[in-house]
Structure 1
Amino acid sequence: MDARRIIAHLRDGQTPTQDELSWFAKGLADQSVSDAQAGAFAMAALLNGLGEEGRVALTLAMRDSGDVLQWTLDKPVLDKHSTGGVGDCVSLVLAPALAVCGAYVPMISGRGLGHTGGTLDKIESIPGLRTDLGESGLRHVVKDAGAAIVSASSQIAPADKRLYAIRDVTATVESLDLITASILSKKLAAGLEGLVLDVKVGSGAFMKTADDARALATSLVNTANAAGCPTTAIISDMNQPLVPSLGNALEVAEVMRTLTEQRGGPMAELCAALGGVVLANAGLCPDVQDGANAIAACIRDGRAAEAFGRMIAAQGGPVQFVDNWQRFLPEATVIREVTARESGIIAAYQGESLGLTVVGLGGGRQVETDMIDHSVGLSDLLPLGSKVTKGQPIARIHASREDSANRAEAELRAAMTIAPKPADIPPLIHERIG
């Protein structure tokens, strides 16, 4: 086959065949397809689309460009994926909760992207914990602890890794077909028997409008199901942080409060909703509501916390982390309280701006080689609709230096709207797809 012919077909509005896409994906993985050819392919896909059949074919081709895990376990292998938001640490709660409820969870996760925090960066706030376990390490932790949260090996969907980097520099990131294939090729390579997707919408999400979020959720669900993995998506709100903290160690602290202090709130509610769907789809519960009740119960009674502790220890973290988590998490050098300059009601957050504030503090990467400061971020943010009086604390800044805290305070104030009247607060869960 010839890369030029495949690109020409796509340029002219013809969908490449499964064989052509398989050949092209292998060429991406082994470098026989050039960067220029990969960029031309991505632009043609962005402009003309692949159609549903082509989207499925590309997803499977990218999945099969590397290793595809096979499991011989006595319980279903399930997972969850989020499209990214701010203050979203659901994975750290849901993975052990699903394990308690009868699933194995090999969660291959990513690092921070743009304004959103990465699950790997968050969990690596825990000293000693390793996420680069390789396939044998992943299998060992999943079998022993029921769940693992790890990075993808170089052999998982290598075609996607190459194409993703090229999309980033060729203005083709926004292609719905390529987004779908990128997300699902890695998830399907984990050998899943069921998947639930948390598609975010709002100011702190990549998808800012309901129509865009619905289009992505539908594309992901239809493609995953056509590829043989039972999948449902929930569109959830990201017009405010899911938990009142943004930043790696600060979000792990919120996870521990949810797991050990029965804090409840939006994160626990969303965990139950997502878990209920995937448990019901896998036949582990009679219906979605029973599944949601099972997830909520294991968080409430401490079984999810115990499972989290087993997973942390199995991945090299402290054995007593759950009992003494405050002792292990890093603290910032500068902690500053921010107070309201006027009375009113918290009416809006610019979620993307909040996320970029954390990146500016050092809690995310501006270039790939940046080192993460796990201790920095924002905490104690008040939820939308909160009444505040002048001088009342509205947040805390955790920074490494005073000048960083000064910058973060100005950005935080600009990203928060205090109004005289309340604004409509969107529901946490907008809709379910599939």
Structure 2
Amino acid sequence: MNALAWIETKRDGGVLSDADWRAFVRAVVEGTVPDYQISALLMAVYFRGLSEAETAALTLAMRDSGRTFTWPGDSRPVVDKHSTGGVGDKVSLPLAPLLAALGFRVPMISGRSLGITGGTLDKLESIPGCRTRLPPEAFQAQVQEVGCAIVGQTEDLVPADRKLYALRDATGTVPSVPLITSSILSKKLAEGIEALVLDVKCGRAAFMRDLDSAGALAHSMLRLATACGVRTTALVTAMDHPIGRAAGNWLEVKDTHEFLVACAESRPGSDRTAGWNDLERLVVECAAHLLRLTGRAGGMDEAREQVRACLYSPEPLRVWRRMLATQGADLDAFERALGRDTLAPCVREVHAVEDGWVTDCDARIVGEIVRDLGGGRRKAEDSVDARVGVDRLVKVGEKVHRGDLLARVHGPDAERTRAAAARLEKAFRIGTSRLHPAGPILWEVGVTVSR
């Protein structure tokens, strides 16, 4: 079939064969099909969808469009986690070293920010000297030696995805469950992993706003990953409030480091880690599922106990530092930066205007503020200011008095910082009665939904 025939078949609700999808992906990579025809086919898929067999065929063709990784025999399972992204979603940063400390190998290939979501690579690149582009051999060697590496997609890893995603972004076809599924899983399958935990964000600051759409994506990825031989769990998690106490690239790295230090120096349930309850719960849950999936724990309660025992020890912090150093970070400069109150030119505080309980902190407003200060991207080619963001965020459920600090804005100049602080005030709601947040885990796929 030629490109026109592919387009017409999907336009009319037909099904393309495995061979068709492999030919299509090969043509995308080789540049033998024009962008306007690729875009037309993507639009047809957006409206007509793909069968499960087609989604699998497209995913595997994309995986095989470039390099795939294999790993030497080792008692340590090769695992990973993927999140669809959210405001303050720094989970990958403490999770990777924690998993390495638990005896896993973690070849985490991550992405950059687009829209209001923060990108793991942008966060790591705010650390002096830290490299996120490693030659494949160096990437594999680091995973074998340190236990984890967090890097970006190389030119020869799933090259079809880079071209297709750019066209999806330009043509309004990003919100397609089969295309999202193939984009995410093609990269994860190329890593050569044995087990995977998927974190599908749901809420006003998430790509998927409601449980139905988040659940559809979670089920799609879960079924396909499992069919491809990867033991997988999918979680749907809340993205109405920021995760942790900071949003913004450098500020989230600092938040992560402080979280790992607090865990290393305290015990579960300590007041020192109270401000990171949501972050801790997500990190523990992801790691526990991977222990269970790989047969290293008999059940979730046992797995959570193992994870917390490791998390509240010096080992994840040690691996975190070693991972950064191996990826080129200047740890002395990193420590100096951590010791500074801010790296941004301006800081402005936001204070409570009344006594009461914090009942809301709108993650979408926080994320849009960070993006508009320069900490996120509207287009893939936009640059990012790693210094800007919001920190010292008061969490929902905390009691405040008039004049108490709710958050701080770190901005590039006085005028924009002042305007951002005025906007940030509107993100908070203070009520007369305490709200007890339900927690970040909304739904484990396969369990009855209630909210």
Q: Which amino acid aligns with 1:94?
A: L
Q: Which amino acid aligns with 1:307?
A: V
Look up the match of 1:372: 384
Mean alpha-carbon deviation: is it higher for 413-422 or for 251-260?
413-422
- Tell me if structure 2 keeps the 8 A contact 1:127–1:328: no
1:329–1:416: structure 2 CA closer, same or farther, 3 Å change rule? closer
The Cα offsets for residues 205-242 of structure 1, whole Å up to 9 and x where unpaired, read as 11111111111111110111112211111111111111
Look up the match of 1:29: 29
Identity of aligned residues (%): 41
What CA distance in whole angstroms lies between the structure 2 residues aligned with 1:373 and 1:415?
22
What CA distance in whole angstroms lies between the structure 1 residues aligned with 2:201 and 2:336?
32
What CA distance in whole angstroms lies between the structure 2 residues aligned with 1:220 and 1:320?
41
What CA distance in whole angstroms lies between the structure 2 residues aligned with 1:309 and 1:247?
20
Q: Which amino acid aligns with 2:240?
A: N
Which runs of no fewer than 5 residues in structure 2 stay unpaired?
Answer: 264-272, 447-451
Aligned residue pair count: 434
**Displacement of 1:366:** 3.1
- Tell me if structure 2 keeps the 8 A contact 1:345–1:419: yes
Alignment of 1:350-429 (within 5 A): 350-422=362-434, 425-429=437-441
Q: Which amino acid aligns with 1:270?
A: L
Look up the match of 2:13: 13
Look up the match of 1:77: 78
Look up the match of 1:202: 203
1:123–1:328: structure 2 CA closer, same or farther, 3 Å change rule? farther
Look up the match of 2:51: 51
- Check if 1:312 corresponds to 2:313: no
- Tell me if structure 2 keeps the 8 A contact 1:141–1:314: yes
Look up the match of 2:139: 138
Report the secondary structure of 2:295's partner residue.
coil
Look up the match of 2:237: 236
Q: Which amino acid aligns with 1:356?
A: E
1:208–1:127: structure 2 CA closer, same or farther, 3 Å change rule? same
Report the secondary structure of 2:426's partner residue.
helix
What CA distance in whole angstroms lies between the structure 1 residues aligned with 2:335 and 2:365?
34
Look up the match of 1:271: 283
What CA distance in whole angstroms lies between the structure 1 residues aligned with 2:140 and 2:337?
26
Look up the match of 1:299: 311
**Displacement of 1:164:** 0.7
Q: Which amino acid aligns with 1:22?
A: R
1:422–1:242: structure 2 CA closer, same or farther, 3 Å change rule? same
What CA distance in whole angstroms lies between the structure 2 residues aligned with 1:79 and 1:359?
27
- Check if 1:282 corresponds to 2:316: no
Alignment of 1:148-167 (within 5 A): 148-167=149-168
- Tell me if structure 1 keeps the 8 A contact 2:114–2:379: no
CA RMSD across the alignment: 1.9
The Cα offsets for residues 314-361 of structure 1, whole Å up to 9 and x where unpaired, read as 100134688766248962221221112233432223312211100111
- Tell me if structure 2 keeps the 8 A contact 1:258–1:299: no
The Cα offsets for residues 277-302 of structure 1, whole Å up to 9 and x where unpaired, read as 11211123333333222222222111
What CA distance in whole angstroms lies between the structure 1 residues aligned with 2:321 and 2:341?
14
Look up the match of 1:102: 103
Report the secondary structure of 2:14's partner residue.
coil
What CA distance in whole angstroms lies between the structure 1 residues aligned with 2:293 and 2:108?
18
Q: Which amino acid aligns with 1:281?
A: L
After TM superposition, the score normalised by the length of structure 1 is 0.95
What CA distance in whole angstroms lies between the structure 2 residues aligned with 1:150 and 1:14?
38
Report the secondary structure of 2:409's partner residue.
strand
**Displacement of 1:55:** 1.2
The Cα offsets for residues 343-385 of structure 1, whole Å up to 9 and x where unpaired, read as 3432223312211100111212233333322221101111112
Look up the match of 1:113: 114
- Tell me if structure 1 keeps the 8 A contact 2:240–2:364: no
**Displacement of 1:422:** 5.0
Report the secondary structure of 1:204's partner residue.
coil
1:269–1:321: structure 2 CA closer, same or farther, 3 Å change rule? farther
Mean alpha-carbon deviation: is it higher for 181-190 or for 255-264?
255-264
Which runs of no fewer than 5 residues in structure 1 stay unpaired?
Answer: none
1:136–1:201: structure 2 CA closer, same or farther, 3 Å change rule? same
- Tell me if structure 1 keeps the 8 A contact 2:114–2:378: no
1:324–1:293: structure 2 CA closer, same or farther, 3 Å change rule? farther
Report the secondary structure of 2:149's partner residue.
strand
- Tell me if structure 2 keeps the 8 A contact 1:102–1:284: no
What CA distance in whole angstroms lies between the structure 1 residues aligned with 2:337 and 2:299?
35
Report the secondary structure of 1:174's partner residue.
coil
Look up the match of 2:253: 252
Q: Which amino acid aligns with 2:156?
A: Q
What CA distance in whole angstroms lies between the structure 1 residues aligned with 2:336 and 2:235?
34
1:117–1:348: structure 2 CA closer, same or farther, 3 Å change rule? same
- Tell me if structure 1 keeps the 8 A contact 2:242–2:362: no
Look up the match of 2:228: 227
Look up the match of 1:63: 63
1:201–1:326: structure 2 CA closer, same or farther, 3 Å change rule? same
Report the secondary structure of 1:79's partner residue.
strand
Look up the match of 1:216: 217
What CA distance in whole angstroms lies between the structure 2 residues aligned with 1:210 and 1:139?
37
- Tell me if structure 1 keeps the 8 A contact 2:288–2:300: yes
Report the secondary structure of 1:286's partner residue.
coil
1:328–1:405: structure 2 CA closer, same or farther, 3 Å change rule? closer
Look up the match of 2:270: none
Q: Which amino acid aligns with 1:393?
A: L
